[in-house]
Amino acid sequence: MPKHLTTLAGESVAFTGRAWRPRFELQRIVRRTGGTTTPRGDVTADTTVLVRGACATWKYGDYGRKERRAASLVRRGHSVAVVHDFEFRRLLEERRPARVCDRIAGQPVQWLVGATTRQFQKVAAIGGPLDREHSAIGRVEQGFLRHRLFGEVEEASCSLCGRRLPISLLVAAHIKPRSECSRRERLDAEHVVFSLCLLGCDALYERGLVGVRPGGEICLSEAHDSSILRRLLRSYQRRKCSAWKDATAEYFGWHLMRRFQG
Ligand SMILES: [Zn+2]
């Protein structure tokens, strides 16, 4: 995905939200400068650029249906550059490059694009912890792992709390901490990660406040006095972790022995 949009020649441009000029005027300019548009500014399989204006009532918090459709196209291998309207204006009126957003529908573009097995293997060779979202190599690894874990679905379940959520709120989290994994384990994309939500489970597991016993039963730490935390942890009582199985048991076992604060 290019970082900048420098010309509209050959681009198929869609619009979402309200821009600084009426949509029909912008569409006319796009067509005059060599691009194409669709009647209502819709995102289609041919769309290559989505111009994002403002909207007080986005369907999904800070983006709408069209951007969600763009995200799904990108996940399936299309190239769609999302550009803010003020950047697009720079291109149209000042002929300066418009910066392409590095997130689509709430997720880093690299999480959506995914990575090839080769790219993944290269990154998995690097030891230590990796920031999944804010480091370039971390995004490559996460991109690959999430494609394996979530495929093309829009929603999936957290393996600990069981809540069904948009995948932008889920991560492919290492069952055994990445920094403790051998190279072989980091490459074990099929088993070394599980789906965790960013609404608490990721942090609680990473900090060792919840663990998973052999068989999948979730166990809760009593290491802290905080009554709020205790109440929160109680919501996991008697739950089972859906990702526990023979092939992942060893990774959960490591976490339980060495990270879980019993
Ligand atoms: Zn959760």
Tens-digit pLDDT profile for residues 170-223: 999 999 999 999 999 999 999 999 999 999 999 999 999 999 999 999 999 998
Give 75 Cα–ligand 1 centroid separation in angstroms: 23
Give 203 Cα–ligand 1 centroid separation in angstroms: 10
Give every CB contact of residue 198 below 8 A, 6+ residues apart in sequence. Answer: 169, 170, 171
Q: Which domains does the chain have, with CATH numbers?
A: 4-105 (3.40.50.10190), 111-258 (no CATH)
Residue 40 near residue 8 (C-beta atoms within 8 A): no
| Side-chain half-sphere CA neighbours of 91 within 13 A | 22
Per DSSP, the three-state class of 56 is coil
Nearest to 197 by CA among 164, 231, 152: 164
Tens-digit pLDDT profile for residues 1-46: 789 999 999 999 999 999 999 999 999 999 999 999 998 899 999 9
Question: Two tokens at 163?
Answer: 């809540």
The beta strand positions in the chain, using DSSP E, are: 4-5, 12-16, 36-37, 49-52, 81-84, 98-99, 103-104, 107-108, 155-157, 164-166, 170-174, 193-197, 210-212, 218-220
Q: What is the DSSP string of 57-115?
A: T-TTSS--HHHHHHHHHHHTT---EEEEHHHHHHHHHH--PEEPPSEETTEEHHHHH--
Give 65 Cα–ligand 1 centroid separation in angstroms: 25
* Residue 165 backbone class (left: φ over 0; alpha: ψ -120 to 50; beta: rest): beta
Give 14 Cα–ligand 1 centroid separation in angstroms: 35
Give 242 Cα–ligand 1 centroid separation in angstroms: 11
Q: What is the pTM of this model?
A: 0.85
Give 246 Cα–ligand 1 centroid separation in angstroms: 22
